Chain A
Amino acid sequence: MAKYTRTSERILYLFILPALAIYLFFYVYPMLTGLYYSLTSWDGMSKQKTFIGIKNYLDILKDQYTRTATVNTLIYTVVVTLFSNLIGLALALMLERRTRTNNVFRTVFFVPAVLSPVVAAFIWKYMYSPESGVINSLLKAGSLGALAQDWLGDPHLALISVMLVPLWQWGGNVMIVFLAGLMNIPEEQYESAKIDGASYFRRFIHVTLPGLRPAIVFNIIISTIGSFKTFDFIFILTYGSPGFTTEVLTLQIYKHALYTAKFGYGSAVAVMLTLLIVLFTIAELRVLTRNEDSYL
């Protein structure tokens, strides 16, 4: 009987082979190919791919432009992750009760999430236009012309202006996850806290936040990964300009792989970005799931 079970288990393993083959071919193989390219001096065109070991990685350490792009990417990731979650949480708390008005507002705040990032970027690009954009026009119409800025052209404002776009687009998305999380918190916990005399703030700290932990973990991890990988917003809005003020790692990968004929170097930057994402995700999971067994 035992022998029969072992044999049937082995046969069952065969059933995962097709899925495993697809996974290996479409996921593992491209990653390994990218890793291999990162160890070559391939220009992206020639048939010859010369193996150069870790030279590309050593070059990254010396490359001031990749360094600047890394710093910008980290700033972008931290700010967008933090604020998109704060905005999403605030919206979810405000719109938690199911009323007709709240339903309308939920839809309004969620609509940007439905847009393609490219479309969103183009909308904001026109809104930011210093001469004809709606932002400066409204400021001027409201006698606040002194606040009108060259939003994407001022080196001190460009990155901030770019970061506002994903906040606008992702805030509603984050809100939806938080709303789902809020619905899972038992009402009894709030009632008990109220009977114990807990204020709204204490109920938020001791009931809402612990209850939202799975949603917080999910939102922060997804926002972090999405922010590290950001490309379309910056490509459309600034293309990394002015100067290197909005240059990010994904843009560097794109330019090296497809413009400067340094595909190998671009692949090395891509591998570095992947490692950064993995490290950040592990660190966040460790911090956010401390004393919890159920999430990992």
Chain B
Amino acid sequence: MLIKNKYDVVVIGGGPGGLAAAIEAKKAGAEDVLVIERDVELGGILLQCIHNGFGLQTFKEDLPGPEYAQRFINEAKSLGISFLLDAMVMDLTSQRKLYVSSQDFGYVEIDALAIVLAMGCREKTRPQVRIPGTRPNGVFTAGTAQRWVNVEGYMPGKNFVILGSGDIGMIMARRLTFEGAHVERVLEIQSYLSGLSRNYVQCLEDWDIPLQLQHTVKRIIGKNRVEAIEAVAVDSHWNYIPGTEEIIPCDTLLLSVGLIPENELSKKAGVALDPVTGGPYVDEKFQTNIPGIFAAGNVVHVYDLVDYVSMAGVGAGKSAADFALAEKERSARYIPLVPGKNVRYIVPHRLDKQALEKGDVSLQMRVSKPIEEDVWLEVRNQNNSIVRRSERYARPGEMVTIVLKPNMATELEKSDSLIVDIYPKSEV
């Protein structure tokens, strides 16, 4: 594959939101669609979500994450969408220019008529939930553990405590149990489950893993490796309740404490973010405050079901294609003004084909060298001369003007470009 410098629609992120957006953009008429993905393969976080439960709405089937992704990947490939993998978008402007660093192509600059932000979200980490104690090895986010166990083939520990009852945490409790680890318990600071109840049933209840609501980690204990955590009960304001502390021996603490939309890139383009969701403000077309920049999926707000992420992707992809096509149509109305014989430059540089319907247009120019005799100033298109007038001389120091009149509108409409020549009458 070759990488171009111009695309109709560029989608940033090859997860479920981005893939759905790219597919829909292509179906809605965008010709050149590019997906930029930082991983070495498409699919995003679904690739490590090997449990079933995906696609009940989209496919009316109960699929594991990788297979849900596979179906979108296969469709995207069959539609002729381009992919740039192992590539980071380093900067993005409000003029929809992307600065990309790619393993295969090095540094690339790309202009897009429309952009879909589909960078997804990232997990909160220990500093974001402020857990006191030492800083030993053995504290991971649930998603990191999931990647190791399901994709890379490493076990992060043997005895686990999980903080947070988010879906990834509960799913990892079961997954780690399947792989022979012991999950001591799941602690949840709130008085209710933060994930789906079906995950509580299948992941915790089925495997007798205790869930303690209104409990949190007060302290992490351990020098090189986690040796234990100190759990504590909290009141409804999350204050520790003295006397409820309990030391739980373990070698690993997993954090499943929430997700944050990933918008570092959005900020660079001047996209305004909602402080509540952490994602861009969007309209019903999923357009951000920056015209031509759309956003879909977890980058906007954190979803609980991937099926809804895909639906959002479809909406954003369609809007991006519509925007790109309108932009193309608008720019197709413009033709360039080309300096011909003895002309150094012409202002304006381009002209709306319908400009003469509204009145005169004057073309201002300078010659490239003095011509001290009678000259013709002539405007023509690819086939015909449109207007010609004479001057007694032409000098670079003196600006020359030619006026296009409404009676030339028909000829202008047929033009691919306008060429202006200035030449001595003696040469004719």
Are A and B physically bound partners? no
